[in-house]
A and B are shown apart, each in its own frame.
Chain A
Amino acid sequence: MPEASADTVALDTKMTSRDVKVHYGDKLALKGVDLEFRTNEVTALIGPSGCGKSTFLRCLNRMNDTIGIARVSGQVTLDNDHIYGPNGIDPVLLRMRVGMVFQKPNPFPKSLYDNVAFGPRIHGLYRDKDHLDEIVTKALEKAGLWHEVKDRLYEKGTGISGGQQQRLCIARAIAVSPEVILMDEPCSALDPIATAKVEELIDELRENFTIVIVTHSMQQAARVSQRTAFFHLGEVIEVGDTEQIFTAPTQQLTQGYITGRFG
Chain B
Amino acid sequence: MPTIGEQHIVKSYDDEMKRLHDALARMAGLAEAQLAASIEALEKRDSDIATQVMNSDYKVDECEHFINEQTVRLLALRAPVADDLRLVISALKAAGDIERIADHAANAAKRSLVLNQMPTVAPMRSLVRMGKLVAELLNEVLDAFLAHDAERALAVRSRDQEVDDLYSSLFREILTYMMEDPRTITACSHLMFIAKNIERVGDHATNIAEMTYFISTGRALNDQRPKRDTSAFEGAVTP
Contacts and interface: CB of A to CB of B under 8 A. Distances in A.
A195 to B, nearest CB: 15
B218 A256 contact: no
A247 B4 contact: no
Given A48-B2, A262-B3, A263-B2, A247 B8 contact: no
Nearest to B10: A260
A258 B13 CA distance: 14
A247 B220 CA distance: 12
A224 to B, nearest CB: 15
A252 interface: yes
Nearest to A48: B2
Secondary structure dominating the interface of A: helix
A252 B2 CA distance: 13
A253 interface: yes
Interface string A219-260: 100100000000011000000000000111100111111111
Interface residues of B, number: 22
A261 B4 contact: yes
A218 B3 CA distance: 18
A248 B9 contact: no
A248 B218 CA distance: 5
Contact of B84 (A48, A232, A259, A262): A259
A51 to B, nearest CB: 9
B222 interface: no
A136 to B, nearest CB: 39
A259 B10 CA distance: 10
B219 A261 contact: no
A218 to B, nearest CB: 7
Given A233-B1, A255-B4, A249 B10 contact: no
Given A233-B1, A248-B218, A260-B13, A218 B81 contact: yes
B8 A260 contact: yes
A261 B86 contact: no
A222 B81 CA distance: 10
Contacts of B4: 252-253, 255-257, 261-262
A255 B83 contact: yes
B29 interface: no
A263 B81 contact: no
Given A247-B218, A248-B217, A248-B219, A263 B5 contact: yes
A246 B9 contact: no
Contacts of A232: 2
Nearest to A254: B82
A139 to B, nearest CB: 34
Contact of B81 (A233, A258, A262): A258
A246 B81 contact: yes
B6 interface: yes
A253 B82 CA distance: 12
In this complex, which of A48, A232, A255, A260 has the most chain B Cβ atoms within 10 angstroms of its Cβ? A260
B3 A258 contact: no
A248 B5 CA distance: 18
A262 B82 CA distance: 14
B9 A258 contact: no
A256 B81 CA distance: 10
B221 to A, nearest CB: 14
B7 interface: yes
Interface in B147-193: none
Contacts of A256: 3-5
Contacts of A262: 2-5, 9
Contacts of B80: 259
Nearest to A263: B9
A261 B85 contact: no
A192 B57 CA distance: 45
Contacts of B81: 218, 222, 246-247, 258-259
B5 A261 contact: yes
Interface in B185-236: 217-219
B76 interface: no
A100 to B, nearest CB: 28
B200 to A, nearest CB: 30
A252 B3 CA distance: 10
A140 B162 CA distance: 68
B84 to A, nearest CB: 5
A168 to B, nearest CB: 30
B79 interface: yes
5 contacts: A247-B82, A259-B8, A260-B8, A261-B8, A261-B9
Interface of A: 48, 218-219, 222, 232-233, 246-249, 252-263
